[in-house]
A = this chain, B = another copy of it.
């Protein structure tokens, strides 16, 4: 009897552990992908085209990808959108933005957007550190 309870609990715990064992970057991207799929399934043309535009806007053009992603990052911060910040932080890292550069983008956004940006700055710094860890493993 005791072992049955233990087994059941163990399963519950494992589900819980698995859930929390994903690192914050994977967790964010997994949720993002899952919901994007659901949104595409609904087949609303306007929304699909907005998603499409989103992909194209940050491509190399008169300005390079790095500059565009830094603009995307700072805009996301002043608009205080944590998920948008996370997305652009990963894109910035992939575009080769270094820590000092990211912090200068943070400083511009914090000055323009004021101290209400600071709680988002804290979470951004935490996420940047998670991205750095993953980068080191790679």
Please give the residue numbers on chain A whose beta carbons come within 8 Å of chain B beta carbons, in ascending order.
Answer: 2-3, 5-6, 9-10, 12-13, 16-17, 31-32, 35-36, 38-39, 42, 44-47, 49-51, 53-54, 56-58, 61-63, 67-68, 70-72, 74-76, 78-84, 98-101, 103-119, 121-123, 125-126, 129
Judge whether A122 and B35 touch: CB under 8 Å.
yes
Judge whether B17 and A101 touch: CB under 8 Å.
no
**Copies assembled:** 6
Q: Smallest distance from the beta carbon of A107 to chain B beta carbons, Å?
A: 4
Judge whether A129 and B38 touch: CB under 8 Å.
yes
Q: Smallest distance from the beta carbon of A62 to chain B beta carbons, Å?
A: 4
Judge whether A110 and B49 touch: CB under 8 Å.
no
